Structure 1
Amino acid sequence: MATGGNKTGLTLGVFSFTLFLSASLMFAVQPMAGKMLLPLVGGTPAGWVVAMAFFQVMLLAGYLMAHAFSGVPAQRHGMLYVLALLAGAVFLPVSLAGHEGFDSIAGPGRIFLLLTQALAVPFIALSATSSTLQRLFTTTRHGSSDDPYFLYVASNLGSFAGLLLYPALIEPLLTLDQQSRCLAGGYVLLIALAGVCLALSGESSQQKTAAKSGGKLSWKRQLEWMALAFLPSSLLMAVTTYITSDIISAPLIWVLPLALYLLTFVIAFSKKPAVSLRLMEALHPYIICIGILFVSLIRADWLFSWIGVLFYLVIFAGIALVCHLRLASLRPLDDSRHLTAFYLMMSIGGALGGVLNAFIIPNVFDRLIEFPLLLLVSFMLHKDFKPSSGTGIAIIALAVLSILLVNTPPMSLGTDTMHARVLLFRILIVAVPCALFLFRRSLRPAYLALGALGVFMISQFVIGDQSEILSIRNFFGTVRLYDTARMVDDKELTIRTMRHGSTTHGMQMLGDTRLEKTQTAYFTQQGPLGDVFSALKPRKVAVLGLGAGVTNCYTAPDREFTFLEIDPAVVDVAQNKFAFLSKCVSKRPPTIIVGDGRLEFAKLKEKFDLLIIDVFTSDTIPTHIVTREALKTYFEHISPGGILAMNISNRYFELWSVIATTASTLGLSAEMKADLSPGRPFYSSPSLWLVLSKDPPPPLAKRGWRPVRPSETLRPWTDNYTNLMAALSFGGVGNGLK
């Protein structure tokens, strides 16, 4: 008896660890592939979203393969799965270096194709692990073989491990080559463990199969599985984009919503979930109402802080948990052959959510509106939603109308929109609790959803932000323009500001020809960049990152500017909505090259006296811009006596030390200056600049610049190794700079 217990314990342990290992490999390869992409296709801000969509589509392909194999006996299914793993091993260790040759503006299609060439086969094989091993487990003699879904918890715990260990241990300790070799080693171990699982399984008897036969699956049930997986997947990307673009673009912020997403799976598919489906379905309409009230209507200061991030993540986790609990309650227990169909529909839903957010929404919507929209749409998956009822028809009609009007500017009320928002919020904060109390016996969840939809439409289309005059959204992010009035020297001026994500990229004072050409934001004459131009007096200047074009107003009769900008929307706005490029005239009009700064700069044949790098989007650090290989390329195009000036202003990283350490390997010296004076002009933004030079540096010491010594503890960054965690400093000098 003890021997049988030991054997079933061994069976459970082997199957659980194999699933854990497979999921760990899947979630470790994703950030590794993202890092490998940077030097090849440039620092596209939406690259991670496309990579997530790629991996979701490959996950779908893996489940589709497993589902196709489900038509054969379980052990033969397992053998085919092992053969697929062996085919994937041919592509290891993973390397993207042999797939170069893409344009420097790598759109989503090109990035998707690049990842497909290098990673599709092994990742598809990895993706087939969960449903295949769970099917094999049903053929064992383990006491829980009739309900193998609890093994999904082991898979999700492995996902947690891969997700959290990568930034904490793998990235700081290993180069990309070493990471790839370790991945290959783990993959070989997985093949061996898969063989052991196959050996522990057995063919189900015909009697057992007949007893468990649940008949043919209905399309309605399969579509329900798909929808319940689609909504959390799309909402995951929506909340990640919303937080990083509109609230706070902190390092590795994408880990938090993804971790919560996995946690909801762990809870939902546990044998005894810690939270009941009944409770979450009761809370669902209230979560929607609270989310819409704060996301769309009132935007208090605390919402733009870490407390705000926590608030939005709680809203997201609540909706995801409702969907995943309901999904788990609908899993097929009557026929093991339906297990692969269940995971196939789940993966189709997840992939569709990824494709929607990565490829469709950025090209359809001109603003970040998908998060509140998806909150509202989630009610259509509630058990009490009746599409044929009066409220159901009203909800569907208003939701469709909201989507059709999504790019429509708000109505002009001729009043302060913030005052209107606050007034409406105060009315609702009193009226809603009263209504809940008075109608507590007859109030239906659909009424709450309908009310939330009404508040959303009013906040978006009636009392929206009227200082926003333009919003352009594309693959690279969202560019917004704001016009606000300000009295300057007893004269009312219009201050036009460009924001890209959560960062100000330039401003201009309109209404006074004397001030229109004034350098603003991080580029003022009184600031560090003004020191550089005064000391160096460069003739030929290259700038990585156009912004509003403010730098072009450092005019001189013999000066030439070349700008390199990856986002075509930024170029369009700088040329047509700001006057810096047209009214500030040097030797010739500025040259503008559209493409990734590092890749395009390497193609130039000329040399420059000054190279300015200003390419950080919010606090997202495109590390491929500051590696040893990148610095070497820059100085191959910098004239003798020339310098590189880098705007390293951000809130979360102390970059000067690691950049100086990296630069020292090329014989470069580094100096830095922070412009944090409270006496700065109102049009000046706090900034932190670093200057690198090969020859004796320009005379900047008298202007407050200080040398930066290489660190003895930090490792230089290369295309093969970067470690952002080593430069992380939430309360450092950079705090408050952007």
Structure 2
Amino acid sequence: MSTQPAPASRPFSIMPPPPPPVPLPVRARSFALVGTFTASVFLSAFLLFLVQPMFGKMVLPLLGGSPAVWNTCMLFFQAALLGGYLYAHLSTQKLGVRAQVGLHVGLLAVTALLLPISVAGRSPEGSDAPIPWLLGTMLLTVGPPFFVLAGTGPLLQRWFAHSGHRNAADPYPLYAASNLGSMLSLFAYPALMEPRMRLAGQSAAWAMGFGALALLIAGAAAWVWRPVPPSAERADAVPADAPALSHSRTSVPWRERGIWTFLAFVPSAMLLALTTYITTDLSPVPLLWVLPLALYLLTFTLAFARRPPLPHEHMLWLQPPVLMVVVLLLLSGFVEEAVAAIPVHLAGLFVTGMVCHGELARRRPAVRHLTEFYLWISVGGVLGGIFNVLVAPVVFNNVYEYALSIGLACLARPWPQERRGWRGQAMMAVRTVAVTAALLYIGANSKDMNPGLLMASAAALMLLLTLALARTPLWLALCLGTVMMYSTVKAIREPGVLLAERSFYGRFKVVEFGIIERFHVLRHGSTLHGAQSLRNPRDPITYYLPHGPVGQIFAATAPRAGRRKVAVVGLGTGTTAAYARAGEEWTFYEIDPHVVRMATDRRYFTYLPDSPAKTRIELGDARLSLARASEPKYDMIVLDAFSSDAIPVHLLTREAMGTYLDRLAPGGVIAIHISNRYLDLEPVVAALVRERGLAARVSSGPDGKRKRYESIATWITVARTEEDLVIVAADRRWKPLTDRRVPPWTDDYSSLLSVFEW
């Protein structure tokens, strides 16, 4: 076979017939061999993704459930995955197949001695630097098995290439099995494992899965350990349908490595950016992040299948019109109908993943470069994570990285080989300007256009964009990038925005609304988190109305007014401070310093600065802060902390309730805000109340007609005895809790699906 590069095919044309593959001596067809390798790769990926939410759930309560814990865990897992791929690559370069088999089986045996995974007995000694403690704990507990699993997939593919099987020249379909296992584990944990097992049982089951994997890998090693004819050991065999890199039998150019990295970076960055966008700006549905990640992994499975069910050229044709619709949605600000918008955004991610991963599959190199190929794919994925987790929240005050990823998705398309002259470039510029102008016009006027006319115009524009720009990635990127830039400038210049910031814990903005009566409104993504009237700044509104449940709670504790000690978990706009009275002591627990600065700045909200009570703010996770405190005892504890659209799970566990009761003064009450669009949290609190024999009532209101920024809210009051709730219990608006007999949530057991509002 010639070692010269095969001529690259032109985009959207039928690829030339590939050169005949290198003939390999083949043993008798063995379904057992293929089955052993496929099952091993599938199970290793399944366990790899299953351990991530399991370990995160183990360590969250130890660090107060901070979102930083999840992000730190994810960065560790990405780094460990890269380390596993690097181990696979270096061992391939330095060791023969048999030596590599012996090394990996030995690592599996040693790692098995560290199982089951547990953090029992471990806790941070101080609160100043929990991240180093977390990284060290992960390195000693989940790190070794995760590292070994990360290297297993590439190694098994390399071993298969030396198995003597008739398809040994193309082990890449095993990569599809790997991603299928990863995708299925995303659904298996919240749907099957989490609702039925406590963490100790989950860890034991995971350890048994690891043992089963070790047996499968031993079986795969047995196939490789057998003597194979020397010609079957050739590592320069090229997959029959990958002619573009037949030259990689000798070396891989750095340009090609850069292309691999870029093609992996783009869908990784788009995945994380879209996840942030749809879970904050569109709809903060719990577990919604699973869908983008599942689609991302599915594109790997489909693209690297031996017979891809979705042809690569079809995806290349489909991507431009789909991305155009996504851009139109972003330009028009279409966020009200999340049910209609989310599938369109997911479709954009899917076709982009199919294009980029299809290009990776088409460019896959000879077997000798297999582990290096996966190493650079992992580098691209890690860079996408670093950009979205560490860089974007610091650089952008909005989710602008999503728009940026759309432009990069255009550049990741195959570039034409022929060069256009200046006349051709001028014609492309004219086409780009025309399509861009049409996009801007339709996007800016979509809300005023007749629906039929809008759909017809969009369809015509999709066809025009595809025919005019689809073959030229640079001009396509300039077109959609210009539209996105206009949308970005429009968002920056949104009227009435007083403050727009983005922190580690989310994105929020303060906006001034109203004509006759003006309001300052705080929004966290798409969720209203509070408001204040400029005409009546001392009146509590939104979820804290005097004629609503929270007003009734404070009215019930009126005999203690002027001498109450109150703890409020979650600051927000500081609206609850409107109920404070002179002589009282109020402590607010808030995890986000950005929220503290906003709530204490009189330019935005004045509830807290104007409070007549003695107030202080404890920065950090409330549960940890309350557990560390010894004094004072509080007459009232108000739980009003929201993460996205739901109260953080670690604040509704058996252990958390114990902390609240320890800090509650005799005769005191706990007020819990459970308003939520997607979760029915009443049974969760009812289980905790039932377990401890407490008294509790629930109320939603206010009833009747509401004014602007008067919201219906659901609150639960909890006390040690019925006597402590006598005033509230006598109010017919307060009812006994509905107890659906869900198990009490603990630090090692909770299930969002069990209380999901289907």
The two structures have a TM-score, normalised by structure 2, of 0.86
- The letter for the 2-side match of 1:323 is C
Secondary structure of the 1:526 match is coil
Which position in structure 2 is the counterpart of 1:508?
532
Paired with 2:313 and 2:489, the residues of 1 have a C-alpha distance of 35
Matches of 2:201 and 2:318, distance apart in 1: 47
Which residue of 2 is the match for residue 357 of structure 1?
A: 388
Q: Is the 8 A contact 2:633 2:665 kept in 1?
A: yes
In 1, the alpha carbon distance for the partners of 2:329 and 2:395 equals 24
1:484–1:496 CA contact under 8 A, matched in 2: yes
Identical columns (%): 35
Q: Is the CA contact (8 Å cut-off) linking 1:495 and 1:508 kept in structure 2?
A: yes
Alignment of 1:50-129 (within 5 A): 50-71=72-93, 72-101=95-124, 111-129=134-152
Deviation at 1:571, TM superposition (A): 0.5
- Paired position in structure 1 for 2:538: 517
**Partner residue in 2 for 1:331:** 364
Change (3 A) 1:448 1:170: same
Match of 2:56 among 3, 23, 34: 34
Separation in 2 of the partners of 1:690 and 1:111?
34
Query: For the residues of structure 1 that align with 2:416 and 2:71, how far apart are their CA atoms?
Result: 31
CA shift, 1:673, in A, is 0.3
Q: Is the 8 A contact 1:671 1:708 kept in 2?
A: yes
Unaligned runs of 5+ in 1: 396-417, 488-492, 731-738
Distance 1:228 1:245, change over 3 A: same
DSSP 3-state at the match of 2:588? strand
Deviation at 1:347, TM superposition (A): 0.9
RMSD of aligned Cα (Å):
3.0
Q: Residue 269 of structure 2 contacts residue 387 of structure 2 at CA under 8 Å; is this kept in 1?
A: yes
Question: What CA distance in whole angstroms lies between the structure 2 residues aligned with 1:650 and 1:387?
Answer: 56
In the TM superposition, residue 440 of structure 1 has moved relative to its aligned partner by 8.0
Structure 2 CA distance for partners of 1:529 and 1:331, relative to 1, 3 Å: same
Distance (Å, rounded) in 1 between the aligned partners of 2:467 and 2:482: 22
Cα drift, residue 469 of structure 1: 2.4
Whether contact under 8 Å (1:649, 1:688) holds in the other structure is yes
Matches within 5 A, 1:54-453: 54-71=76-93, 72-101=95-124, 111-202=134-225, 205-210=229-234, 212=236, 214-295=249-330, 297-300=331-334, 304-332=337-365, 334=366, 336-384=367-415, 443=469, 445=472, 446-453=474-481
Counterpart in 1 of 2:581?
Answer: 556
Q: 1:129 to 1:69 in 2, by over 3 A?
A: same
Question: Given residue 43 of structure 1, which amino acid in structure 2 is its aligned partner?
Answer: G
Summarize deviations over 1:488-507 as a string: whole Å, max 9, x none.
xxxxx321111123322211
The equivalent of 2:552 in structure 1 is: 531
How far did residue 583 of structure 1 move?
1.2
Structure 1 equivalent of residue 709 of structure 2: 683
Counterpart check, 1:652 vs 2:678: yes
Alpha-carbon displacement from aligned partner over 1:153-174 (angstroms, at most 9, x marks no partner)? 2212221332111111100110
Task: Write the deviation string for residues 156-213 of structure 1: whole angstroms up to 9, x where unpaired.
Answer: 2221332111111100110011101111111122122211211111465544445726
Aligned to 1:412: none
In the alignment, does 2:485 pair up with 1:485? no
CA distance in 2, matches of 1:662, 1:435: 57
Distance change in 2, residues 1:429/1:713 (3 Å) = closer
Partners of 1:439 and 1:484 lie apart in 2 by 38
Provide, for residues 407-446 of structure 1, a one-character-per-residue CA deviation record: whole Å limited to 9, x for no partner.
xxxxxxxxxxx97785799999888776777898765544
How far apart are residue 558 of structure 1 and its match? 2.6
Separation of aligned partners in 2, 1:434 and 1:313:
22
For the residues of structure 1 that align with 2:581 and 2:63, how far apart are their CA atoms? Answer: 35
Query: What is the distance in 1 between the residues matched to 2:445 and 2:512?
Result: 19
- Cα displacement string for residues 372-408 of structure 1 (whole angstroms, at most 9, x for unaligned residues): 1101111121112799989999x9xxxxxxxxxxxxx
- Which residue in 1 is equivalent to 2:15? none
**Which residue identity is paired with 1:608?**
Y
The CA distance in 2 between the partners of 1:663 and 1:387, in whole Å, is 72
Q: What secondary structure, in the 3-state scheme, does the structure 2 residue paired with 1:190 have?
A: helix
CA shift for structure 1 position 728: 1.1
Alpha-carbon displacement from aligned partner over 1:426-471 (angstroms, at most 9, x marks no partner): 9998887767778987655443332211111122114642232221
Residue 564 of structure 1 contacts residue 594 of structure 1 at CA under 8 Å; is this kept in 2? yes
Shift of 1:43: 2.7
Amino acid at match of 1:476: Y
Is 1:108–1:359's contact at 8 Å kept on the other side of the alignment? no
1:109: how far off? 6.6
Aligned equivalents of 1:386 and 1:369: distance in 2? 32
Q: Of 577, 592, 596, which residue of structure 1 is paired with 2:617?
A: 592
The one-character-per-residue Cα deviations of 1:41-97 (angstroms, maximum 9, x if unpaired) are: 223345444433332221111111100110211121122122222333243221234
The Cα shift of 1:108 comes to 6.5
Paired amino acid for 1:16: T
- Shift, 1:7, TM fit: 7.2
* Post-superposition offset of 1:356: 1.4
1:220-270 deviation line (CA, Å, top 9, x unaligned): 111111111111111111111111111111121111111101110111011
The yes-or-no answer on 1:716 pairing with 2:744 is yes
Contact 1:661 1:714 (C-alpha < 8 Å) held by counterparts:
yes
Further displaced range: 458-467 or 137-146? 458-467
Map Cα deviations across residues 297-333 of structure 1 (whole Å, 9 max, x no partner).
Answer: 102355x42222111111111111110111111111x
CA deviations over 1:84-140 (Å, ceiling 9, x no partner): 223332432212344421665877776555433432111010111110111111121
Q: 1:237 aligns to what SS in structure 2? A: helix
| Contact 1:234/1:353 (8 A) holds in 2 | yes
The aligned amino acid for 2:259 is E
CA contact (8 A) 1:656 1:708 kept: no
Q: Distance in 2 between matches of 1:670 and 1:433?
A: 56
1:641 aligns with 667
Q: Distance in 2 between matches of 1:106 and 1:386?
A: 53
Residue 312 of structure 1 aligns with an amino acid whose one-letter code is H
Measured against aligned partners, the alpha-carbon deviations of 1:262-288 in whole angstroms (never above 9, x if no partner) come to: 110111011111112222222333333
User: Quick one: distance in 2 between partners of 1:47 and 1:484?
Assistant: 36
SS of the equivalent of 1:722 reads coil
Instruction: Rate the CA distance shift 1:46–1:319 in 2: closer, same or farther, 3 A.
Output: farther
Query: Is the CA contact 1:675–1:686 (under 8 Å) kept in the aligned structure 2?
Result: yes
